[in-house]
Structure formats: C-alpha cells, structure tokens
C-alpha cells in the first residue's frame, strides 16, 4: 500500500508486512548535519536498586548511577553511521542537571563532534512538552540541521512523546520507532515498527526520527575517544540563552501534573484446606463457587 | 575525601563492562573447555583501547591512568579473570617499555602493542622459581653485534601470544648482573614450549620459552646492561601486582553477585536461603572483603597516578589482601551454593579456581608480606 500524505515534508507512506531490522544507507555524496537528543537515566541494569521516596514520591537515584538512555545510544550510533558514510557533523544535546556533562563526554567519546548541555534551575520538573520545547529552542539555535535523532523512548519515563513533540514544535516530519533508515538525495526513508508490520515513510530533510532498540548495535566508547573527549568543550545554555521565558519551561511550562506515584504491589491470600483428599476437594470447590470463579453463564465469571 | 570516580573513569568502567558482557562472556565456556586464549579477542581489545590504557597517545594509547586500568581490569575479570590476567600482563610489557626502552624501541613496539598485533609479556620466572631473581639460570652472553641467550622461562602468561616478549637474563653476577631484552618471535634459537594445563585461569595462555644459542641483536637490549633486576622489580611491583589485585577484585565482585543471586533464588524450607542466618553471614563476609579490596586497589592506583613514592607499598598491600580475599569470598560464595557450587555449570566454581591462581601470580602472599614488613620496619 502506498499513500501520499501532504504537509510537514512527508512524501509517501507505505505499509509492508515483514519488519526489516537492519540499517542500510544508500549513499549520496551530500553531508548531513545531525542533532542527537539524549537523556541521562538511571542505569537500567540496576533498576532493582531504585527506590521511591515515600514523602516526595520522587525516585531516589543515589544508588543508581545515570547512564545515557539505552535507545539514545541507538540514536547516536545511527547519527555516527550517517556521518561516517555521508559526511557531516553530529551535535549532541541534553536537557539535564550539570551532572549531565558526563553523558555528553561519553557521547563525544563515542564520536559526536559537539556537545550542548541545557541546564537551568527553571528546567526542573519539566514534562514531555516542556522538555520538547527546551530541546526545540536549542535545535533552532544550532542553525541549519538535516536530521534530528532520538531514542524512541526513555528507560525511566517511557512516554515516547518527546521526539514527536519536538518535531511538531519545529514543524518537521517525524518518523518514530524506526528500525531501518535509508538516506538518499536529501530524503529519509524510514522503516517504522508498527503493531502489525512495518510502515515505510519517506520525508525530505529536515526530519526527525526516533530509533528502536533493534535499529543497530550501539558501539562502545573507545579509550582513545575518552581521552579526546576530555579535551573537548561542552557548551552550556541556560533558559535565557535559549530565548525562553521561565513560564515556558520546567514545571511552570508543563501542562501535566503528577497526582500520585505508587509502587504497584500484587498481594495474595492463601488458604490451607485440611482433611482427606475428598474433603479438601469439596472444600476447594465450595470456595471457588463462593468466589464465583467456577460460575459460568451470562454475566458470571469463569 | 572524594570517593566518587571522575567522569572519564566512570566511562572507562562502563565501556569495559559492556565489552566484557558483549565480547568476553560468550567466549568463557570455550576457554574453560579448551584452555586456549581466543586470538580474535586481542584485536577486539585493541579496537576498544584496552591494550593502550597505560600507553601515551603518541604511541596509539590513551594513557588514562592506573585507576582507569584497575577499574577496567576488574570489569573484565568479573566476567573472565583469565582475560583480565592476560590483559594485565600485556600492560606490564607496555609499562616496562615506557620506563626502560630506547626511543627506537618505544617507536617500534608500543604502537604494535596498542594495535593488538600481539599480547605483551614479561618473562622472568624460571623452573628454579619466580621470586629468586638472582637464582635465574638463563644467560645472555655478549658476542659481536649482540647477545647469545641460553636457558628457559616457565609459567609465562601470554607466552605463545607475544610477538616480542621482554626477557630478563643474566649478563653478570649480583644484582647488577641481570639485563632485560626484547626478543622477536622467530629469532633463531627462540622456541616456545608447552602450554601449561592449569586448574584455574583456563584460557589464559601460560607457557614456556626456550632459548638455545638464540641471537638477539644489541638493539634488543632494554635500558643499560645490568638494569634488568630494577626493570623487573619495578614492573612487577608497580604494574603486575596492582594488575593481579584488580583481577582479584573482579573475582570478588563476581563472587558477591553470584552469592546474592543464588541465595535469593534458591528456596529451602519454603523460603529463599537468603533468610537463613548461616547464609547471611557468608554474604556479609564477602561484602566486607569486597569493599576493603576496592578501597585498597583504588587508593593504590590513585597513588600511582600521582607518582607518589608510597604507591609500590600500597600496591603490594592491595595485591596481598585482594588475592587472599578473592579466595575467601569465592569459597564462601561456593558454600552459599551448597552442592550446586561444585557443579561445572555454576560460575562460582570457576571463580574459586581462578582466585587460587591469583595468589601466586605476581609474587606469593608470603613474598608480599616480606615486602610489606620491610616497608614497615625499615
């Protein structure tokens, strides 16, 4: 099926049955300016140590060190592949507390060229929209870009909203849950994972893609890259630097309100029947009937 | 005091951890089975920069320092102590070259070591023993244009994986009677011997080297004639011992993880054995040993990075404590596993076997205590 879609730079949409899972860039000799948006998240391999502060209802992150959101590493890998094959530069951006520098150093060590830390007390408490607004201001300030890459979702929030919101704010097409990407002649062809197959979307640059886990195999930061990254400068931008007002960002700029956070708990109650096998079976059937577990028919439980 | 790692060390740790999980872990069963080191791993370690951690940038390394090295070795050793040990011995030759080699030798060999053309090694131990340097029998007799080497080395890590090992041999008598040489693989009269069959560190290449009228050109001499003992001792005490301490740290971390994992999943009397005090005491003992080892290893490396003269003593202390603690912890972890711990499909038996090898590598605990008591009493 091929469909044309007007607006926001989409050229075509096609749905195919089998989901491909490899990156395959058809080359054209034009360089691409990529921006990768990353987020520091608590190390997912240590999520078992995450605790919720019962008073503030915020995550106690002290015992779990932050890392680059795993899917953002797929985004970095995809951007570096574009740079390697077609030329261009890769800028990496994060909205985070000052400690977010560490994830930017790692992104530089992986091969990104420039790093930007968006940090300001005013950014605290941002929901996805306020985050996207802040990132959009940074992308606009960076000047001309061809491709913005994000992880499809973050390991901590898992909303998958920031990428599409960022594209909407910038007025560019977005292709989400991308498993395979082809760049050719100034166009992006993206194979996007859908529930029942793969949607193949084509858009002219500039565009935004969010990467799925199986889009590529993220590389490791080589030791020589770490050494080089230490000598690189990280640009820090505040709310004022981005030309935003405090009411547009952080908690003040967030329409979402968190009413409650709780750890879901599954509790079970056990009953022990005693007697002969026949007696226990009878007791069990009575209890199951009592709970309407075995009742069938209209309106009943099965 | 700041007990937090600086950013670069944290990134090194993550890279080493991911590398160990992705590239090393799948190789462990094969290494256990065959006892052979998987050669393609050398290039993979080079690509990620693990081979050049103590080597300056101009030779292709990253020179991220000894704390970064300790952290990386521990992460690798947590998955495979055999690979950790091979890597740490490789660093020994790189460090020895930096300290003692001529400019031409550095230009020739350090980039090759960083590129992973081969794994480095320092060959000191002989059948007569490893700690009695003056008792060594291998000789290097000056002859026109170079030296004639005769003798043998044993228990040499990376013996068959090295393209140009550092050899210490007698050129005279007394403490000034030893000299260090680089001998190219393939030199006439240089023959690698058997690959040792070890109880632990399976897959770490450990073997013999034979020299029979082996001619080494004068350009193979490292440093001045008579500096071999100094070169060997400095390399062993400042690179080899902290390296083995880091390997032991990795074993401790793995022992801790395995003990926790098993004690939480294995049920007895209707509840996890972690609820039993007998198990809790084992876990607490491992935990204390792990933390004490971490602090000793990190501090010793920190001192080395700052060029402090007390680094060598701190490193010996770390080595003595870490290797013994690894034996204790892996045994306790094994006991937490009960009968399962003696089964080959459980990693904990490998940890115990590997820990036992750590004790003698780089100088036994007793040798370490002699060094430490001298530092304390003199």
Q: Are residues A29 and A155 in the same domain?
A: yes
- The answer to whether the CB of B80 falls within 8 A of the CB of B27 is yes
Question: What's the pLDDT at B118?
Answer: 97
Rounded to a whole number of angstroms, the distance from the CA of A44 to the nearest CA of chain B is 13
- Domain end (from B205, B226, B247): B226
Question: What's the pLDDT at B345?
Answer: 93
Q: Are residues B239 and B371 in the same domain?
A: yes
Q: Are residues B283 and B369 in the same domain?
A: yes
- Domain end (from B115, B130, B147): B115
Question: What's the pLDDT at A10?
Answer: 61
Inter-chain touch A225–B49, beta carbons under 8 Å? yes
CA distance B364 to B10: 31
Question: What's the pLDDT at A298?
Answer: 52
Q: Are residues B109 and B169 in the same domain?
A: no
Rounded to a whole number of angstroms, the distance from the CA of A65 to the nearest CA of chain B is 10
- The answer to whether the CB of B172 falls within 8 A of the CB of B161 is no
**Nearest residue on chain B to A220, alpha-carbon basis:** B15
Per-residue pLDDT of A190-248, as tens digits, reads 999 998 899 999 999 999 999 999 999 999 999 999 999 999 999 999 999 999 999 99
Classify residue A259: in a domain, yes or no.
Answer: no
Per-residue pLDDT of A69-114, as tens digits, reads 999 999 999 999 999 999 999 999 999 999 999 999 999 999 999 9
Q: Are residues A24 and A142 in the same domain?
A: yes
What DSSP designation does A26 have? P
Classify residue A255: in a domain, yes or no.
Answer: no
Find the CATH number of the domain harbouring B274. Answer: 1.20.140.10
Q: Are residues B201 and B249 in the same domain?
A: no
Q: Are residues B175 and B306 in the same domain?
A: no
Q: Are residues B219 and B235 in the same domain?
A: no
Classify residue A258: in a domain, yes or no.
Answer: no
Find the CATH number of the domain harbouring B220. Answer: 2.40.110.10
Residues of A in contact with B24 (CB under 8 A): none
A272 in contact with B, Cβ within 8 Å: no
Question: What's the pLDDT at A47?
Answer: 86
Angle CA B296–B14–A78, to nearest 5 = 170
Residues of A in contact with B68 (CB under 8 A): 223
- The answer to whether the CB of A113 falls within 8 A of the CB of A82 is no
- DSSP helix/strand/coil, A150: strand
Question: What's the pLDDT at A258?
Answer: 81
Sign of CA dihedral B29, B32, B34, B37: positive
- The answer to whether the CB of B244 falls within 8 A of the CB of B296 is no
Classify residue A231: in a domain, yes or no.
Answer: yes
Q: Are residues B101 and B137 in the same domain?
A: no
B335 in contact with A, Cβ within 8 Å: no
Q: Are residues B160 and B276 in the same domain?
A: no
- How many cross-chain Cβ pairs, A to B, lie less than 8 Å apart? 58
Angle CA B343–B344–B349, to nearest 5 = 80
For the cut 70, the answer to whether the pLDDT of residue A19 exceeds it is: no
Classify residue A24: in a domain, yes or no.
Answer: yes
Q: Are residues B349 and B254 in the same domain?
A: yes
Inter-chain touch A105–B49, beta carbons under 8 Å? no
CA distance B175 to B125: 16
Classify residue B137: in a domain, yes or no.
Answer: yes
Q: Are residues A280 and A186 in the same domain?
A: no
CA distance B175 to B231: 11
| Cis geometry, peptide bond prior to residue A206 (ω within 30 degrees of 0) | yes
Inter-chain touch B62–A224, beta carbons under 8 Å? yes
- Domain end (from B115, B147, B182): B115
At residue A184 the predicted structure's pLDDT band, cuts being 50, 70 and 90, is confident
For the cut 90, the answer to whether the pLDDT of residue A29 exceeds it is: no
Q: What's the domain range around B205?
A: 122-226
How many Cα atoms occupy the beta-carbon half-sphere of A47 within 13 Å?
Answer: 7
- Those residues whose C-beta lies under 8 Å from the C-beta of residue A233, and which sit 6 or more positions away, are none
Classify residue A263: in a domain, yes or no.
Answer: no
Residues of A in contact with B8 (CB under 8 A): 105, 226-227, 229-230
Residues making up chain B, counted from first to last: 378
Q: Are residues A291 and A146 in the same domain?
A: no
Sign of CA dihedral B11, A78, A29, A203: negative
Q: Are residues A161 and A298 in the same domain?
A: no
Classify residue B2: in a domain, yes or no.
Answer: no
Residues of A in contact with B48 (CB under 8 A): 220, 222-223
Q: Are residues A151 and A228 in the same domain?
A: yes
Question: What's the pLDDT at A293?
Answer: 83
CA distance B161 to B206: 9
Rounded to a whole number of angstroms, the distance from the CA of A45 to the nearest CA of chain B is 11
Classify residue B254: in a domain, yes or no.
Answer: yes
Q: Tell me the percentage of chain A whose pLDDT exceeds 70.
A: 88
Interface of A with B in 101-140 (CB under 8 A): 101-102, 105-106, 109
Classify residue B81: in a domain, yes or no.
Answer: yes
3-state secondary structure chain B: CCCCCCHHHHHHHHHHHHHHHHHHHHHHHHHHHHCCCCCHHHHHHHHHCHHHCCCCHHHCCCCCCHHHHHHHHHHHHHHCHHHHHHHHHHHHHHHHHHHHCCHHHHHHHHHHHHHCCCCCCEECCECCECCCHHHCCCEEEEECCEEEEEEEEEEEECCCCCCCCEEEEECCCCCCCEEEEECCCCCCCEEEEEECCCCCCCCCCEEEEEEEEEEEEHHHEECCCCCHHHHHHHHHHHHHHHHHHHHHHHHHHHHHHHHHHHHHHCEECCEEHHHCHHHHHHHHHHHHHHHHHHHHHHHHHHHHHCCCCCHHHHHHHHHHHHHHHHHHHHHHHHHHCHHHHHCCCCHHHHHHHHHHHHHHCCCCHHHHHHHHHHHHHC
B10 in contact with A, Cβ within 8 Å: yes
How high does pLDDT run on average in chain A? 87
Classify residue B1: in a domain, yes or no.
Answer: no
Per-residue pLDDT of A121-130, as tens digits, reads 999 999 999 9
Q: Are residues A234 and A113 in the same domain?
A: yes
Q: Are residues B234 and B354 in the same domain?
A: yes
Interface test with B, best of A220, A230, A231, A234 (most B CBs within 10 A): A220
For chain B, 378 residues long, give each residue's pLDDT as a single digit of tens.
Answer: 889 999 999 999 999 999 999 999 999 999 999 999 999 999 999 999 999 999 999 999 999 999 999 999 999 999 999 999 999 999 999 999 999 999 999 999 999 999 999 999 999 999 887 778 888 999 999 998 899 999 999 999 999 999 999 999 999 999 899 999 999 999 999 999 999 999 999 999 999 999 999 999 999 999 999 999 999 999 999 999 999 999 999 999 999 999 999 999 999 988 999 999 999 999 999 999 999 999 999 999 999 999 999 999 999 999 999 999 999 999 999 999 999 999 999 999 999 999 999 999 988 999 999 999 999 998
Structural domain tally of chain B? Answer: 3
Q: Are residues A11 and A77 in the same domain?
A: yes
H or E, element range at A167: helix A162-170
Classify residue A30: in a domain, yes or no.
Answer: yes
Classify residue A262: in a domain, yes or no.
Answer: no
In Å, how far from its chain's centre is CA B277? 36
B67 in contact with A, Cβ within 8 Å: no
B143 in contact with A, Cβ within 8 Å: no
Structural domain tally of chain A? Answer: 2
Per-residue pLDDT of A268-289, as tens digits, reads 888 889 899 999 999 999 999 9
At residue A23 the predicted structure's pLDDT band, cuts being 50, 70 and 90, is very low
Q: What's the domain range around A278?
A: 268-302
- Compare CB distances from A226 to B12, B19, B47 and report the shortest one's residue: B12
Inter-chain touch A226–B62, beta carbons under 8 Å? yes
- The answer to whether the CB of B158 falls within 8 A of the CB of B42 is no
- The answer to whether the CB of A230 falls within 8 A of the CB of A105 is yes
For the cut 90, the answer to whether the pLDDT of residue A26 exceeds it is: no
Classify residue B144: in a domain, yes or no.
Answer: yes
Q: Are residues A148 and A292 in the same domain?
A: no
Inter-chain touch A223–B62, beta carbons under 8 Å? yes
Q: Are residues B285 and B317 in the same domain?
A: yes
Q: Are residues A142 and A282 in the same domain?
A: no
Between strands B221-222 and A10-16, the pairing is: unpaired
For the cut 90, the answer to whether the pLDDT of residue A49 exceeds it is: no
Could you tell me which of B55, B186, B167 has the C-alpha nearest to residue A223? B55
- DSSP helix/strand/coil, A188: strand
CA distance B190 to B156: 14
CA distance B76 to B17: 7
Q: Are residues B166 and B70 in the same domain?
A: no
- The answer to whether the CB of A67 falls within 8 A of the CB of A103 is yes
Q: Are residues A137 and A216 in the same domain?
A: yes
Q: Are residues A42 and A161 in the same domain?
A: yes
Find the CATH number of the domain harbouring A107. Answer: 3.40.50.620
């Amino acid at each position: 099926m091929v469909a044309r879609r007007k607006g926001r730079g989409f050229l075509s949409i096609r749905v195919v049955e089998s989901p491909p899972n490899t990156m395959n860039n058809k080359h054209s000799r034009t360089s691409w300016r990529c921006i990768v948006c990353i987020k520091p998240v608590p190390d997912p391999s240590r999520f078992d140590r995450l605790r919720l502060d019962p008073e503030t209802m915020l995550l106690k992150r002290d015992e779990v060190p932050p890392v680059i959101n795993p899917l953002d590493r797929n985004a970095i890998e995809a951007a570096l592949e574009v740079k390697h094959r077609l030329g261009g530069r890769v800028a990496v951006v994060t909205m985070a507390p000052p400690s977010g520098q560490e994830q930017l150093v790692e992104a530089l060590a992986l091969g990104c060229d420039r790093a930007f830390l968006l940090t300001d007390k005013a950014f605290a408490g941002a929901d996805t929209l306020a985050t996207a607004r802040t990132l959009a201001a940074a992308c606009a300030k960076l000047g001309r870009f061809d491709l913005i890459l994000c992880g499809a979702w973050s390991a901590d929030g898992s909303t998958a909203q920031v990428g599409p919101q960022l594209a909407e704010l910038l007025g560019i097409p977005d292709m989400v849950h991308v498993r395979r990407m082809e760049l050719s002649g100034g166009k992006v062809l993206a194979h996007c994972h859908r529930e029942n197959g793969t949607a193949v979307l084509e858009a002219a640059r500039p565009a935004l893609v969010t990467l799925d886990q199986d889009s590529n195999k993220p590389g490791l930061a080589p030791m020589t890259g770490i050494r080089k990254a230490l000598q690189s400068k990280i640009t820090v931008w505040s709310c004022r630097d981005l030309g935003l007002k405090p009411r547009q960002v952080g908690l003040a700029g967030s329409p979402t309100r968190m009413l409650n956070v709780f750890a879901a708990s599954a509790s079970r109650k056990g009953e022990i029947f005693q007697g002969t096998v026949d007696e226990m079976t009878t007791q069990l059937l009575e209890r199951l009937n009592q709970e309407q577990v075995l009742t069938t028919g209209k309106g009943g439980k099965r | 005091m700041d007990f937090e790692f600086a950013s670069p060390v944290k990134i090194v740790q993550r890279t080493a951890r991911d590398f160990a999980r992705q590239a090393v872990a799948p190789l462990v069963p094969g290494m256990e089975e065959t006892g052979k080191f998987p050669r393609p791993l050398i290039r993979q370690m080079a690509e990620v920069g693990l081979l050049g951690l103590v080597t300056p940038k101009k030779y292709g390394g990253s020179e991220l320092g000894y704390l970064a090295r300790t952290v990386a070795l521990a992460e690798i050793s947590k998955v495979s102590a055999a690979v950790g040990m091979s890597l740490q011995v490789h660093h020994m030759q790189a460090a020895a070259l930096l300290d003692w080699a001529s400019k031409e030798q550095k230009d020739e060999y350090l980039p090759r070591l960083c590129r992973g053309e081969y794994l480095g090694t320092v060959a000191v131990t002989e059948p007569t023993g490893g700690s009695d340097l003056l008792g060594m029998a291998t000789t290097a007799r000056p002859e026109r244009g170079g030296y004639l080497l005769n003798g043998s080395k044993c228990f040499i890590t990376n013996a068959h994986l090295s393209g140009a090992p550092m050899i210490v041999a007698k050129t005279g008598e007394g403490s000034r009677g030893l000299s260090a040489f680089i001998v190219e693989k393939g030199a006439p009269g240089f023959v690698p011997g058997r690959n040792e069959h070890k109880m632990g560190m399976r897959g770490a290449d450990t073997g013999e080297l034979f020299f029979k009228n082996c001619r080494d050109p004068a350009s193979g001499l490292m440093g001045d004639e008579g500096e071999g003992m100094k070169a060997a001792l400095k390399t062993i005490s400042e690179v080899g011992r902290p390296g083995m301490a880091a390997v032991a740290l990795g074993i401790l971390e793995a022992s801790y993880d395995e003990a926790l994992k098993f004690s939480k999943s294995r049920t007895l009397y209707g509840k996890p054995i972690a609820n039993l005090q007998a198990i809790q005491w084992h876990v607490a003992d491992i935990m204390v040993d792990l933390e004490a080892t971490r602090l000793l290893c990190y501090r010793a490396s920190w001192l080395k990075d700052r060029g402090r003269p007390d680094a060598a003593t701190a490193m010996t202390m770390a080595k003595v404590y870490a290797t013994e603690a690894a034996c204790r912890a892996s045994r306790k972890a094994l006991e937490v596993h009960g009968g399962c711990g003696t089964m080959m499909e459980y990693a904990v038996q490998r940890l115990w076997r590997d820990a036992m090898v750590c004790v003698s590598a780089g100088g036994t605990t007793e040798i370490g205590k002699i060094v430490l008591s001298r530092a304390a009493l003199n």
